[in-house]
């Protein structure tokens, strides 16, 4: 393939002489550790850790009993695709949540060990590293860094779509050159978005489907923050696909997880749903890579996808935390979705260092979640991300302390 001139946000081509793993930077939290090493936080202030997006809510009540009742399942190998019971429960949840009329648990749903491994591995199912065509994987910038690692290590070339205040934090579909669309294997969508909180609307998805059909690529939608939103429940890719009468969710793969909605990040449980042909392909890959979910955890997962009471309780805490943060901060508004605050600052790294040194607060520099474009601009550089995972009081305290940071 003759690589097209893809405009200003295209990444420089990978060097054939370098192992692709060596082209990836250290993971954001490793970089953060290095950034803050040697800095001492003020002794008199309790530390607030708003760095990682790890929910810190009490364990949902059914977890311990369900696990206890199913311990004997540890003596069996789990199947890669997941039990019928779990896949049926997920199908029921998708039907309730998105009003789907038809989804087949057997051919359109797989268990995943959290979305992270699946988001990474999917690139290996959808990209042919030996092909000179379809070399691009599109992704938002800033992004969940797994998209970048997945694309690069699968042999693709990442194409970054800047999500900035100027685009309303949406990936601008119209700004992608036709040559890039033509050579796109698939696109990662993240809605609600980590870190910006943007939520994709129906029209945005419609435009994306039109492009996917015209240029023959697939869509991988990361919906793991789908149950954390300020106003309306976000629409999902499968819902829009069905509304457009796309038989069998053609070109779609959706991933979701219990990590955020059920505050069970340590359980490592999620699902993949969509187009049966893509699911079949991915299932085959997964029989080789081996991410089967232990049987007792599948039982807990089925219980978690069947219960919305704990999810509503969690959502109420996140909403109160976001409101408390912005009330105390005195500027800006809660994001549409997710529990992240994406705050503009003059320099994210300098701000993160100062926040730790002056206020005993750990936050993530925005640039650790984004990539330089071809001109060296980085859309995350002038931001920091704070995760509101410790409840409303700490969120307000975090806002007051961030207000006092001076760089």
Q: Which of 115, 191, 370, 378 binds ligand PLP (CB under 6 A)?
A: 115
In whole angstroms, how close is the CB of 144 to ligand PLP at the nearest point? 4
Cα 282 to Cα 276: distance, rounded to the nearest angstrom: 10
Exposed, middle or buried, 88 (CB in 10 Å: 0-12/13-18/19+)?
middle
Residues contacting residue 18 through CB under 8 Å, at least 6 positions apart? none
Residue that has been written with the tokens 């829009």 in this structure: 240
Q: Which of 83, 167, 226, 259 binds ligand PLP (CB under 6 A)?
A: 259
* Interaction between residue 334 and ligand PLP (CB under 6 A): no
The residue at minimum Cβ distance from ligand PLP is: 114
* Interaction between residue 366 and ligand PLP (CB under 6 A): no
In whole angstroms, how close is the CB of 263 to ligand PLP at the nearest point? 11
Of 41 and 170, CB closest to ligand PLP: 170
* Interaction between residue 116 and ligand PLP (CB under 6 A): yes
b or e along 309-322 (b: 16 or more beta carbons within 10 Å of the residue's beta carbon)?
ebbeebbebbbbbb
Q: Which of 140, 270, 335, 380 binds ligand PLP (CB under 6 A)?
A: 270
Number of alpha carbons in the 13 Å side-chain half-sphere of residue 251: 27
Cβ atoms of residues 336 and 229 within 8 Å:
yes
Q: How many helices (H) and strands (E) does the chain have?
A: 15, 12
Q: Which of 80, 257, 298, 362 binds ligand PLP (CB under 6 A)?
A: 257
Site track 163-182 with ligand PLP (rule: CB under 6 A), x = hit:
--------------------
From the list 111-119, 130-138, 150-158, 200-208, the region that binds ligand PLP by CB under 6 A is 111-119
Rounded to the nearest angstrom, the gap between the alpha carbon of residue 182 and the centroid of all alpha carbons in its chain is: 25
Interface ranges with ligand PLP (CB under 6 A)? 53, 114-116, 119, 144, 190, 194, 222, 224, 257, 259, 265, 270
């Amino acid at each position: 393939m003759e690589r097209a001139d893809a405009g200003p946000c295209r990444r420089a081509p990978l060097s054939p002489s370098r192992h692709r793993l060596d082209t990836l930077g250290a993971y954001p939290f490793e970089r953060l550790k290095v950034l803050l090493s040697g800095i001492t936080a003020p002794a008199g202030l309790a530390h607030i850790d708003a760095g990682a997006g790890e929910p810190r809510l009490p364990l949902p009540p059914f977890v311990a009993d369900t696990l206890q009742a199913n311990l004997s399942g540890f003596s069996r190998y789990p199947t890669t695709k997941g039990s019928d019971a779990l896949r049926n429960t997920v199908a029921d949840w998708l039907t309730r949540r998105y009003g789907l009329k038809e989804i087949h648990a057997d051919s359109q749903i797989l268990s995943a060990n959290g979305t992270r491994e699946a988001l990474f591995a999917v690139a290996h199912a959808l990209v042919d590293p030996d092909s000179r065509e379809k070399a691009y994987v599109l992704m938002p910038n800033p992004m969940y860094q797994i998209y970048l690692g997945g694309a690069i290590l699968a042999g693709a070339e990442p194409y970054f779509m800047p999500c900035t205040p100027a685009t309303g934090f949406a990936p601008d579909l119209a700004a992608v050159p036709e040559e890039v669309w033509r050579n796109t294997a698939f696109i990662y969508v993240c809605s609600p978005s980590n870190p910006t909180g943007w939520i994709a609307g129906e029209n945005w998805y419609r435009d994306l489907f039109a492009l996917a059909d015209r240029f023959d690529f697939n869509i991988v939608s990361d919906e793991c923050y789908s149950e954390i939103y300020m106003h309306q429940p976000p629409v999902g890719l499968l819902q829009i696909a069905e509304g457009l009468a796309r038989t069998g969710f053609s070109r779609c793969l959706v991933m979701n997880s219990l990590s955020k909605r059920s505050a069970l990040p340590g359980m490592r449980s999620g699902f993949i749903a969509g187009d049966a042909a893509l699911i079949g392909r991915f299932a085959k890959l997964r029989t080789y890579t081996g991410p089967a979910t232990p049987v007792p955890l599948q039982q807990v997962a089925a219980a978690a996808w069947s219960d919305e009471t704990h999810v509503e309780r969690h959502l109420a805490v996140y909403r109160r935390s976001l409101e408390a943060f912005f009330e105390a901060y005195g500027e800006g508004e809660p994001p549409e979705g997710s529990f992240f605050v994406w705050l503009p600052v003059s320099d994210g790294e300098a701000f993160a260092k100062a926040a730790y040194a002056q206020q005993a607060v750990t936050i993530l520099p925005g640039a650790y979640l984004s990539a330089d474009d071809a001109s060296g601009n980085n859309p995350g550089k002038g931001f920091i991300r704070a995760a509101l995972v410790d409840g409303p009081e700490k969120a307000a305290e975090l806002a007051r302390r961030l207000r006092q940071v001076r760089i």
